[in-house]
Structure 1
Amino acid sequence: MKKFIAPTQINGIVAAPASKSDMLRAAAAAYLTGKTCEIVHPSFCDDAKAALGIVSALGTQLDLRSDNILFSPGNLKPEPVLDCGESGLCIRMFPSIAALRPETMTLTGRGSLISRPLDMIVQPLRELGVVCQTNNGFAPITVTGPLQAGKAVVDASVTSQFLTGLLMALPLCQGTSEIIVKNLKSTPYIAMTLHLLEQFGILVEHEQYEHFLIHGPQPYHPLSYSVEGDWSGAAFLLVAGAIAGNVSVTNLKLDSLQADRAILDALARCGADLTLEESRVSAHQGTLYGFEFDAVDCPDLFPPLVALACACKGKTVIYGAQRLKVKESDRGIALLTEFRKIGANIALYPDRMEISGSELDGGNVHAYNDHRIAMACAIAALRSRKGVTIEGAECVAKSYPQFYEDLQSTAVYT
C-alpha cells in the first residue's frame, strides 16, 4: 500500500507499543515452562504472531485475549514445519529450542528471511548433539534432537540471536554446558535475554559475555510476565518530537536493558530538549546540532537517527554501518537510496554513515519491505517541504502495526 505523510507539526501523547524483542523471548520462555503461564500486555505484531504460531506448532495451547495470552501445555506432537514468517529472531532462536525434542523439525520463512544468514547455527548445534542442516547457510534449517549439554563455540559477529536461543534451551539439558562466544555484537540483547531468564527462575553464569556456564537441568518457573514497552518503536516517536513539535511517549522503562534505549543518548548528543519522568519520556522541538554516535550495539537505531540527522545543523556521523547488510533489507543501501530521493545529503561508508543536515524536499520512496525504513521516511516527512509517499508502507506491521495511527494522532495540520 501507499501512504502519504504530510509535513506538519506534532503535539501529543502516545503509549509505546509492546516490545517485539521482549515478546518473542517471553513466548519462548512461557513454552519452556511446560506449565500454565501468562503474558500480559503482549505484542500482536507480525513477528510476535510468528512466535506464537511456533509455540503452538510445538504443542502449546494458547488462549489469546486483547491484553494477555494464556499458555497451557498440550499433548500434541509437534508439527514438522515451524513457520517463522519474516522474523530473524524466530529462525535463529527457535532451532535450539525445537532441538530439545527428538523429532525432526524444519524452520522456514519467507520474504527477506530467506536471504538472512544462518551458518552460525550449524556447527554449535552439531557440537551439542543435534543433527542440523541448512540450505547452504540459509533457510530452511532442519534440526533433529535431542540437544545435549556440552561445549560449543559460537560466532556472534553477525547476530546474537542464535546465542539467545542456546541460552534459553540449554538450562533444560542434563549436565553443565560451556559456551565460548567470539566477536559478540549487540551485547545489550544478551543482557536482556539473561534478565528475562532470571525472572523465569533460570540462572546463567558468564564472564564478560564471552564465556557462559549453564547448569542443568533447571526448571522454568511459570509466572505472569508483563512485556515492556518498545524502545525501538519509541525511538521514531521521540525523534518526531525533537524535529517537529512535542511528543510524550509513555509505557517505557527508563532502566530497560533494551539496546535501543540508547536513543536517549543520541538525542542528548544533538542537543534535543528531553524530559524524563517515571515511565514517560518527552521530546520537544528545538535547535539540533550534528553529532557522532556509535550504533554497533544498537543498529536498529540507524533509521530514526538518519531522520534525526537530516534536521540537525552540521554533519552527523553514525558508526556501525557494517551491521546493516543483513536486516530486513540491506538497510544501509536502503537508507542511502531512499533518503537521497527526498533530498538528503547522505553518504555510506563500510563502517559509518555521514549526513549533513538540510531541508528535505520530499517525494516518493520505497520501504524495501523493511518496517524501519518505512517509519524513518514517515518521520522525515514531517520536516519536508512537500511530504513523502511511502510505497510498501504496510510493512510496519512487522513490529509496530499501529504506527501510522499513533503518528496521525499527534498531527497538528496548519
Structure 2
Amino acid sequence: MKIIPKKIDNLNIYPPPSKSQTLRALTFALLAKGKSIIYNYLNSPDTYTMIKAIRSLGANVKIFKKKIEVIGTDGYLTSKSKIIDSENSGIVFRFISALIALLDTPISITGDLSIKKNRVISPLIKGLKQLKVSINKTVPLTIKGPMIPNKIYISGKDSQPISALLIATSFSKGKETEIFVKNSGEKPWIDLTLSWFNFLNIKYEKKEYFYYKTFSNTKINGFEKIIESDFSSIYYPIIYALINNLNATINIDFSSLGGDKKLISILQEMNANIDIKKDKILIRKGSKLKNKKIDVNDFIDALPILSVLGCFIDGETILYNAAIAKKKESNRINAMYTELKKMGANIKKKKDGLIIKKSFLKGAHLYSHKDHRITMSLIIAALSAKKDSFIENTSSIKKSYPHFLKDFNL
C-alpha cells in the first residue's frame, strides 16, 4: 500500500468495538445456560475464529449484522471436532485450550505460525499439567482432561494464560483451585476478565495480582451485553493528531472498561492537550510534548504507536518493561526498531523496550510483519513523514480496526 503524507484536521473518530471484550463475551456465552445476545460485536477474523471454536464445543451460534446470538452449553461442553484452529488469535488459542481441558475426550488445537513459534504458551501448559491434564509441549497441542482442581504456580508475564485458567477452573468439577502468580504483568487485562466474573456473579477471591481462588461447578445464565469501544484503537488517531498539531475528536465513553485506558493520563503528563468529556476525548492543537520514561506494561499493545510518537518529541523517550511485546503477533520491539530505522529514526533496541530520540522521518519501503498494530503504527508514521512510503501486507488491520483506512481517507 502506498502512503502519501498528509494532514487531516478535525478527525471525528468512532472507534471499533473491543476485540478483547467480544471474545470474552463469546467465551462466557458458550458456558452459559440459555441464550446470550452480544450487541455491537467486532467484525473481525478473530471473532469468527472464536465462533467456530465455541461451535466445536457445543454452542449454537447465529450471526446477524448488529448482534450475535449464542445458545450456550450450561457448562456441559461437547467435542464436535477433533481439532480446533485458533488461526492468529492468542485469546482463542489460550481460552479454548483451557476449556478443552474440562473434557475427558482428547482434542487438538493449532494456530498460525505466530501461535506455533512466537506466542507464550508454556505457562498455560504448566498450569494445566498441575491440574492433572494430559497435554504435550508444542503446537498443535493435544489436550485431554478433565482437569482436577488443585494449586497452580504460574508465571504471569502474559495475562492470557491467567485469564484462561481463571475461567476454566471456575467451570471444573470438584472444589476450589488456587492460582499463585509470579511476575504478574498486563494487569488491566486480568481486571477485564474479572469484570466479567463480577457481571455474571462468578465467585472468586483475589489478593493483589499474585493470588486467586476460583470455585468449581459455576453456573451462569444467558446474558445480554453491548460491547464497548476499544481503547487500544484510539491511540492511532490521537497520536496522529498530536504529532501533526491537529484537532481530533474520539467518540468514546471514558467510563467504560479498557486495558489501555491508563495511557491517556500518561499522554497528559507529557503535556498532550487532551480534554476528557463523558462521551468523547478532544485533542486540540498546541501541545508542547515532552519526553518521558514510560513503563508500557499496562498498555503493552501501545508500544508500536508510542515508538512513533517518540520520533516527534525533543529529547529521549524510553519505553521499558515491554519484554512481553516480543511474544505477540510479531516481535514488536524488533519490528518497530527495524521499520523506523528504515525511515531514519534515531532509535535503539533494548532487552525490554526501545529508546527513541527526535527524528526526521522520511518515506521508505516498509514491512508490516503481518501484525495489525505494527501496520497501523507504520501508517501513522508514513502519513507524518517526508515523502511517500510503501507498506507491504496491510490486510492484518481488519483484526482489530476494520475501518481504520476509511477513517484516515486511505
Counterpart in the other structure of 1:371: 372
TM-score, with length taken from structure 2: 0.94
The CA deviation string for residues 357-414 of structure 1, in whole angstroms up to 9 with x for no partner, is 23211222100111111111111122211132211111112221221111228xxxxx
Counterpart in the other structure of 1:172: 171
Q: What SS class does the counterpart of residue 120 from structure 2 fall into? A: coil
Counterpart in the other structure of 2:150: 150
C-alpha displacement of 1:271:
1.2
* Amino acid in structure 2 at the alignment position of 1:293: I
The answer to whether the 8 Å contact 2:342/2:366 transfers is yes
Q: For 1:89 and 1:127, how far apart are their aligned partners in 2?
A: 21
Q: For 1:267 and 1:5, how far apart are their aligned partners in 2?
A: 27
Q: What SS class does the counterpart of residue 311 from structure 1 fall into? A: coil
The answer to whether the 8 Å contact 1:18/1:230 transfers is yes
Counterpart in the other structure of 2:122: 119
The CA deviation string for residues 196-232 of structure 1, in whole angstroms up to 9 with x for no partner, is 1211221211111211111222212321011121111
Q: What SS class does the counterpart of residue 100 from structure 1 fall into? A: coil
Q: For 1:86 and 1:95, how far apart are their aligned partners in 2?
A: 14
The answer to whether the 8 Å contact 2:57/2:80 transfers is yes
Q: What SS class does the counterpart of residue 92 from structure 1 fall into? A: helix
Q: What SS class does the counterpart of residue 193 from structure 1 fall into? A: helix
User: What runs of 5+ residues in structure 1 fail to find an aligned partner?
Assistant: 410-414
The CA deviation string for residues 64-104 of structure 1, in whole angstroms up to 9 with x for no partner, is 11111000147974211111011112112221112222221
Counterpart in the other structure of 1:78: 80
How does 1:250-399 map onto structure 2 within 5 Å?
A: 250=251, 252-286=252-286, 287-399=288-400
The answer to whether the 8 Å contact 1:248/1:283 transfers is yes
Q: What SS class does the counterpart of residue 347 from structure 1 fall into? A: strand
C-alpha displacement of 1:5:
4.3
The answer to whether the 8 Å contact 2:314/2:358 transfers is yes
The answer to whether the 8 Å contact 1:7/1:385 transfers is no
Q: For 1:59 and 1:234, how far apart are their aligned partners in 2?
A: 35
Structure 1 residues 167 and 253, CA, compared in 2 at 3 Å: closer, same or farther? Answer: farther
Q: What SS class does the counterpart of residue 290 from structure 1 fall into? A: coil
Counterpart in the other structure of 1:130: 133
Q: For 1:108 and 1:91, how far apart are their aligned partners in 2?
A: 7
The CA deviation string for residues 87-129 of structure 1, in whole angstroms up to 9 with x for no partner, is 1121122211122222211110113221123111222212213
Q: For 2:46 and 2:309, how far apart are their aligned partners in 1?
A: 26
Structure 1 residues 5 and 266, CA, compared in 2 at 3 Å: closer, same or farther? Answer: farther
* Amino acid in structure 2 at the alignment position of 1:113: I
Q: For 1:333 and 1:98, how far apart are their aligned partners in 2?
A: 34
The CA deviation string for residues 321-376 of structure 1, in whole angstroms up to 9 with x for no partner, is 32221111111111011011112111111133111123211222100111111111
* Amino acid in structure 1 at the alignment position of 2:63: L
Q: For 2:78 and 2:213, how far apart are their aligned partners in 1?
A: 32
Q: For 1:266 and 1:169, how far apart are their aligned partners in 2?
A: 34
Runs of 4 or more above 6 Å deviation: none
Q: For 1:51 and 1:96, how far apart are their aligned partners in 2?
A: 14
Greater strand share, 1 or 2?
1
Q: For 2:289 and 2:4, how far apart are their aligned partners in 1?
A: 22
Counterpart in the other structure of 1:412: none
C-alpha displacement of 1:307:
1.5
Q: For 2:2 and 2:28, how far apart are their aligned partners in 1?
A: 37
User: What runs of 5+ residues in structure 2 fail to find an aligned partner?
Assistant: none
* Amino acid in structure 2 at the alignment position of 1:357: K
Q: For 1:311 and 1:238, how far apart are their aligned partners in 2?
A: 14
Q: What SS class does the counterpart of residue 326 from structure 2 fall into? A: coil
* Amino acid in structure 2 at the alignment position of 1:350: K
